Amino acid sequence: MTNEECIIEVEGLHTRFGSHVVHEDINLCVRPGEVLVLVGGSGSGKTALMRQMLGLEMPAQGEVRIFGEPLYGHDRKKLQYMRNRCGVLFQKGALFSALSVYDNIALPMRELRTLDEGLIRDLVMLKLKMVDIEPKHASKMPAELSGGMVKRIALARAMALDPELLFLDEPTAGLDPELSEGFVKLIQTMRTELTLTIVMATHDLDTLVALSDRVAVLAEQHIVALGSLREVVGTSHPFVANFFRGERGKKALGNTGDVL
Amino acid sequence: MPENLGGNSSIVLRRVTNDDGTFRLVLAGSYTLAALGQRVQTLSTDLVAYATDPELRWDLTGIEQLDDAGAVLLWRAWGSRRPTHLVLRPEHERLFDRMKEAPSAPAPTPRGLLWPITILGKAVFLLWEHSTGLLILIGQVLLDAKYLISHPARIPWREISANLYRTGAQALGITALVGFLIGVVLSFLSSRQLQTFGADIFIINILGISIIRELGPMLAAILVAGRSGSSMTAQLGVMRVTEELDALTVMGIPHSLRLVLPKIMALGIAMPLVVLWTSAVALVGGMVVAEIQLGLSYQFFLNKLPDVVPVANLWLALGKGAVCGMVIALISCHFGLRIKSNTESLGEGTTNSVVTAITVVIIIDAIFAIVFSNVGLK
Ligand SMILES: Nc1ncnc2c1ncn2[C@@H]1O[C@H](COP(=O)(O)OP(=O)(O)OP(=O)(O)O)[C@@H](O)[C@H]1O
Ligand SMILES: [Mg+2]
C-alpha cells in the first residue's frame, strides 16, 4: 500500500537488539510540510526509529520508504540525491572533530561540487548567524566548544543544504530557554520560506507545543497515540497523562491556552 | 520579447519589456540549492550580467521556493546590497534582511615571514615537551609503584591480568608464525653457505647465537610494539576523546596507577615469555631445515645447542625482553595520554607511538649489544 501522500512511510517496523525488543509493528506516515514530533520516555526508541528512517540501521522486520522509495537497493546517484535532501541533527551533535566549525558546515556544501568558495563562505556565515554563533568561533575546533554551541553548530550543519526533510534528535536539549525560543522562531521562519518537513524527537514541551503539527507517542514498543496535540492529549494512555498533564505539562500547555 | 534562459523548468529567469519601454527581469520557480543543482555557475554569471544595469527592475514575486543558497546567489550578484528597483514576496523579505546582518568571514591569518624559524622552534619545543612528559610519567609510575609496595591491597591485579592476556597470550600466534618463518629462512641460507665450506656442524652455533641472542628478542619486541603498542595508545586516546579519562580523574582514580602501571607491569612480564616462545619456535624452524638440508638429527641439534650457546645469552635475551616491554608500554601510554580530543590527533598519536616504540626498541638493542659485548660470546 504505497501512499503518495507520505514523504516518509514506516510499515510494520520491528526493532530488536538481541533479545531486547524496542519496537513492535510501528506504522507511521510523515506528510510533506508537517512537523511530526516523536515523544516517549528515555529509552523508548525515538533515536532508534529515526536511525531506521535514515537507513543507518536495518529494521528487524518491516520497511521504511523515503520520498516513496525503499531505503535499500537505490542506485548510488539516487541515494546521494536523496541524502542531500535530508538534514540530520544527531543527539550528540556528531561534529567532525578534526574539522573546524567553519569546515564542518562547509563540508556538505563542498561535497556538492557546484558551489564556489565565495558562495560557500557567505552561506556558512549566514548559517552561523542563523544559529546565533559569533563569527569569531568559526575557526574553533569542536573540542573547544560548549555543549550548547556544539548543538547549534550541528543544527547549522544539518541545515547547510537547506534540506526539505529535517531529522532533529533533541534539538533543544542543552540550550538555555532563550536559545530554545530562538530555535523555535528559526524553524517557524524557515517554514514560511520553504516547504519543510521535520521529524523531531524532543522532551521539551515548550518546543513541542510551539512547533508540532502532529505528535506520535512511543511507549511499550508501540505508537500509543498519533495525531494533533489536542487529540494526543485527549487519549487516556498513562504515559500521555504523565507527560502532558503533569505539573510541567500543564504549564506548557497553559501558555497556549486554547489547546485543552 | 521574452527570452527564457532556464533549461530547467523549475527555475525561470526571463527579461520582459514593460509597456513604458523599461525592462523587467522576472525570476520565478524555486531558487533552492536542490533545484539549482549544476546550474549554479551559469545562473550566477547571468545574474551578475543583469545586475550591471542599475535601472533594471527585479521582479521576484514569482519565486515560490527560496532558500539561503538562492538568496545568497542573488545577494552576491547584486554586490551585497539591494537593487534600486526590487519587488519580492513579503515572506522572502526576511531572507535578505538576514543577509544584511550576516557578518563577513574572518580573514585567514597570513603566514609570517619567519615561518622556517617558527617551525624549527616548535619542533624543539615539541621534543622538549615529549622528554619532560615522559620523565614525569616515569616519575609518576615509580611513585605509584612505591605506593603499591606499601599498600599491596591496592595493586590492580585485574588490569594486570587482562593486559597480560591481551599482550602476551594473544600475541603467541603471530609471533610463532613470524619466528618459525625467520628460523626456516635463516637456516636455509646459512646451511647453503656452510655446506660449501664443509662446516655443516656450525649451523647450530649460527642459529643458536643469532636467534637466542638477537633475532628472537627483536622480532618479539617489534611485533609487540606494533600490536600492543598501537592498541594501548588508541585505547587511551579514545578514552580522552570520549572524556572517560576525565571521568576517572573526578572519581579520584589516577590514570598512572590504574591505566599506565598495569600496562607496564604486564608487558614487563609478558615480553620475556613472548621472547622465549619466539626464540623457541624460530629454533624449531631452523632445526627442521637443518635436518632436511644437512641431515643433522633433532637429537644431535638439541644436545649440541647448550654446548655452543652459553646460557648467559638466554638471560641477556630475557632481560632485553623485559626492558623493551616496559619501554614499549611506557611510550605507548605517553603518546596515548597526549592525544587531544579529536580523531585526527588520535590517528597521528597512534602512528607516532608505534614508530617511536620500534625505533626505541632498536636503540635499546644496540645499547645492550655494546654494554654486554663481553657477555655470552666465546
Ligand atoms: N546499538 C544498540 N545496541 C543495543 N541496544 C540499543 C542500541 N541502540 C539502542 N539500543 C536500545 O534501544 C532502546 C531505545 O534506544 P533509543 O536510543 O532509541 O532511546 P531514546 O528514545 O532515543 O531515548 P532518549 O530519550 O534517552 O534519547 C534502548 O533501550 C537502548 O538500550
Ligand atoms: Mg535518543
* Cα of B335 to nearest chain A Cα, Å: 18
**Would the pLDDT of A120 be above 60?**
yes
Nearest CA in chain B to A80: B34
Cell 542573488: give the residue. Answer: B74
Interface contact flag, B75 A122, Cβ < 8 Å: yes
Average pLDDT estimate for B53-79:
84
Distance (Å, rounded) from C-alpha B49 to C-alpha B78? 10
**Would the pLDDT of B331 be above 50?**
yes
How sure is the predictor about B7, in pLDDT bands with cuts at 50, 70 and 90?
very low
* B270 vs A43, more confident: B270
Interface contact flag, B102 A143, Cβ < 8 Å: no
Q: Which atom of ligand 1 is nearest to the CA of A15?
A: 12
Residue B67, burial from CB neighbour count under 10 angstroms (0-12, 13-18, 19+):
buried
Interface contact flag, A126 B99, Cβ < 8 Å: yes
- In the stretch 202-241 of chain B, residues with CB closer than 8 A to chain A read 241
Query: Are residues B58 and B86 in contact, defined by beta-carbon separation less than 8 angstroms?
Result: yes
Q: What percent of chain B has pLDDT over 90?
A: 58
Average pLDDT estimate for A101-107:
92
The answer to ipTM > 0.90 is no
Tell me which amino acid residue A43 is: G
pLDDT tens string A53-90: 888 888 888 988 888 888 776 677 777 888 888 889 99
pLDDT tens string A157-175: 998 888 889 999 988 887 8
Cα three-residue angle A119-A124-A128, rounded to 5 degrees: 150
* Candidate from A35-44, A226-235, B4-13, B64-73 with smallest mean pLDDT: B4-13
Residues of B in contact with A130 (CB under 8 A): 68, 98
How far out from the chain centre does Cα B341 lie? Answer: 13
pLDDT of residue B318: 96
Nearest CA in chain A to B37: A114
Interface contact flag, A162 B69, Cβ < 8 Å: yes
Q: Which of B87, B43, B95, B86 is nearest to B65 (CA)?
A: B95
How far is CA A235 from each of CA A124, A215, A218, rounded to the nearest angstrom? 44, 12, 13
Q: What is the DSSP string of A71-114?
A: SSS--HHHHHHHHHTEEEE-TT----TTS-HHHHHHHHHHHHS-
Cell 523548468: give the residue. Answer: B9
- Chosen for mutation from B43, B64, B68, B96 (greatest number of chain A CBs closer than 10 Å) is B68
Average pLDDT estimate for A135-144:
89
Distance (Å, rounded) from C-alpha B173 to C-alpha B185? 19
> Would you say the CB of residue A43 lies under 6 angstroms from ligand 1?
yes
Query: Are residues B5 and A78 in contact, defined by beta-carbon separation less than 8 angstroms?
Result: no
pLDDT of residue A238: 86
Q: Which atom of ligand 1 is nearest to the CA of A49?
A: 18
Q: What percent of chain B has pLDDT over 70?
A: 97
Range B250-257, long-range pairs (CB < 8 A, 24+ positions): B254/B144, B255/B337, B256/B137, B256/B140, B256/B141, B256/B144, B257/B144, B257/B147, B257/B148, B257/B154, B257/B156
Helix (H) or strand (E) holding A5: none
Nearest CA in chain A to B36: A114
Kindly tell me the sign of the dihedral angle through the C-alpha atoms of B284, B286, B287, B288: positive
* Cα of B238 to nearest chain A Cα, Å: 12
Distance (Å, rounded) from C-alpha A8 to C-alpha A26? 13
The residues near A163 (Cβ < 8 Å, ≥ 6 apart) are: A84, A85, A86, A87
**Would the pLDDT of B329 be above 90?**
yes
Which residue from A14, A23, A39, A46 has its CB within 8 A of the most atoms of ligand 1, so it is best to mutate? A46
Distance (Å, rounded) from C-alpha B281 to C-alpha B183? 8
Distance (Å, rounded) from C-alpha A59 to C-alpha B11? 39
* Cα of B247 to nearest chain A Cα, Å: 16
**Would the pLDDT of B47 be above 90?**
no
**Would the pLDDT of B207 be above 90?**
yes
Cell 494526543: give the residue. Answer: A232
pLDDT of residue A255: 58
C-alpha of residue A143 to centroid of ligand 2, in Å? 22
* B200 vs B54, more confident: B200
Query: Are residues A244 and A233 in contact, defined by beta-carbon separation less than 8 angstroms?
Result: yes
Interface contact flag, B341 A97, Cβ < 8 Å: yes
* A258 vs B348, more confident: B348
- Phi, psi (degrees; rounded to nearest 5) at A63: -140, 150
Interface contact flag, A164 B34, Cβ < 8 Å: yes
> Would you say the CB of residue A46 lies under 6 angstroms from ligand 1?
yes
pLDDT of residue A259: 46
Taking each helix axis from N to C end, the angle separating B90-101 and A117-130, rounded to the nearest 10 degrees, works out to 100
pLDDT tens string B170-200: 999 999 999 999 999 999 999 999 999 888 8
Whether B37 contacts chain A with CB within 8 A? yes
Question: Facing residues of B58 across strands?
Answer: B25, B86
How sure is the predictor about B243, in pLDDT bands with cuts at 50, 70 and 90?
confident
**Would the pLDDT of A217 be above 80?**
yes
Interface contact flag, B76 A119, Cβ < 8 Å: yes
pLDDT of residue B227: 94
pLDDT tens string B357-371: 999 999 999 999 999
DSSP character for B110? P
**Would the pLDDT of A11 be above 50?**
yes
Q: H helices within chain A, ranges in order?
A: 46-53, 76-84, 101-112, 117-130, 147-158, 177-193, 205-211, 229-234, 238-245, 247-256
**Would the pLDDT of A41 be above 90?**
no
Residue A159, number of CB atoms within 10 A of its CB: 24
Cα three-residue angle A148-A50-A35, rounded to 5 degrees: 75
pLDDT of residue A162: 86
**Would the pLDDT of A122 be above 60?**
yes
Average pLDDT estimate for B139-151:
93
Residues of A in contact with B75 (CB under 8 A): 122
* A248 vs B261, more confident: B261
Over chain B, what is the mean pLDDT? Answer: 89
DSSP character for A133? -
Domain B3-101 superfamily per CATH: STAS domain (3.30.750.24)
Tell me which amino acid residue A245 is: R
Average pLDDT estimate for A15-32:
91
pLDDT of residue A254: 67
**Edge-to-edge strands of the sheet including A214-219?**
A86-89, A165-169, A197-201, A35-40, A214-219, A222-227
Interface contact flag, B342 A97, Cβ < 8 Å: yes
How far is CA B95 from each of CA A116, A126, A128, A210, B252, rounded to the nearest angstrom? 21, 10, 14, 22, 52
Whether B245 contacts chain A with CB within 8 A? no
- Domain locations along chain B: 3-101, 157-371
Which pTM was predicted? 0.77
Residues of B in contact with A114 (CB under 8 A): 36-38, 40-41
pLDDT of residue A256: 57
Of the listed ligands, the closest to the CA of A40 is 1
- Chosen for mutation from A194, A196, A197 (greatest number of chain B CBs closer than 10 Å) is A194
Distance (Å, rounded) from C-alpha B347 to C-alpha B230? 10
How sure is the predictor about B28, in pLDDT bands with cuts at 50, 70 and 90?
confident
pLDDT tens string A182-198: 888 888 888 887 788 99
* Cα of A49 to nearest chain B Cα, Å: 25
Whether B65 contacts chain A with CB within 8 A? yes
> What's chain B's length in residues?
378
**Would the pLDDT of A115 be above 60?**
yes
Taking each helix axis from N to C end, the angle separating B216-224 and B261-294, rounded to the nearest 10 degrees, works out to 140
3-state secondary structure of B16: strand
Average pLDDT estimate for A143-159:
88
Q: What percent of chain A has pLDDT over 70?
A: 94
**Would the pLDDT of A229 be above 80?**
yes
CB pairs under 8 A between A and B: 94
Tell me which amino acid residue B282 is: A
> Would you say the CB of residue A44 lies under 6 angstroms from ligand 1?
yes
